[in-house]
Amino acid sequence: MSFSITGKTAIVTGAANGIGLAIARHFLDRGARVMFADMDEGKLEAEIGDEARSEGAVRMFAGDLREKLAITNLLSATIDAFDRVDILVNASRVMKRSDPMMLGADCVEDMLQQNLMTALRVSQMTAKRMIQQAERDEDTTAMAGTIINLSSITSQRTLSTLMGYSISCAAVEQMTRALALTLAPKRIRVNAVSLGSVMSASLQNLLREEPGWRPAIESATPLGRIAPATEIVETVQYLASDAAAFVTGQVLVVDGGRSLLDGVSAPAH
């Protein structure tokens, strides 16, 4: 089976910075057509503004995907530009510290809205487009599409100060399994990548506030370092490609061995 994604059309959310940006750029380098989606229009413009206006393989969409209309507009913009969508990567995530015992400060509702509900609604609406495309395709055996969600090892191992984030990640992984079962008869695969000790935009922000967490994270990671975002992109490409044609409902862990150890002394990523 081929690892190629050449000629495929991908939507990557959270694509203005961090892991989402790394995935979107990697997909471009591998010959895919990519819609960079994020709510931060300024960062999108700074990263790919000129490329997006060149009428090539790059487009950008700025909008708040917590809103149904924004999702509808994102899909319409993608279809208008590229005629179809084959891959969705839900890389838009937010990590916030919380107070588990303080009403309004536990961040549970906020994290579920940001990390679970947005990915769920984008997945549902994108899957419907993929199904419509498949009904028009001549090849009735080929995969109709693939959806890849990003999660974190905090879904299983957490700090109390990341309760809201941990709950949202656990929910994303269960959503992945449920959608995989639902969409398998429609020839759409759904998988997730669970990260730990990877330099996301959220982790960068937290390390600015708490620089002492860096050595704690590194010492809690068997491979002894925090990986750059570019080190997870090949895993995402694998799940997006035909090499993973018989893989669905799985959560692949990329964490430098961190989840093998007992206890968590600092944020996972």
Write the DSSP assignment of 157-198 as a string of letters.
Answer: S--GGGHHHHHHHHHHHHHHHHHHHHHGGGTEEEEEEEESSB
**Amino acid at site 49:** G
Interatomic CA distance for residues 26 and 122, integer angstroms: 21
At the topology level of CATH, where does 9-257 sit? Answer: Rossmann fold (3.40.50)
pLDDT at 99: 65
pLDDT at 23: 98
pLDDT at 136: 86
pLDDT at 266: 58
- Which element (helix H / strand E) includes 12? strand 9-13
H helix runs in the chain, sequence order: 18-29, 41-52, 68-82, 108-111, 118-136, 163-183, 201-209, 213-219, 233-240
Interatomic CA distance for residues 72 and 56, integer angstroms: 22
pLDDT at 157: 82
The answer, as to whether pTM is greater than 0.85, is: yes
Please identify every stretch of the chain with a pLDDT value under 50, giving residue numbers as ranges.
Answer: none
pLDDT at 205: 84
Strand order in the sheet with 145-152: 58-62, 33-38, 9-13, 87-90, 145-152, 188-195, 251-254
pLDDT at 208: 87
pLDDT at 96: 72
Q: What are residue 195's DSSP bridge partners?
A: 152, 254
Q: How many CA atoms lie within 13 A of 17 on its CB side?
A: 15
Under a CB-based contact definition with an 8 Å cutoff, are residues 17 and 40 in contact?
yes
pLDDT at 107: 79
pLDDT at 228: 95
Q: What distances in angstroms separate CA 9 from CA 34, 126, 133, 183, 203, one per listed residue?
A: 6, 12, 12, 19, 29
Token pair 């309760």 is found at 163
pLDDT at 146: 98
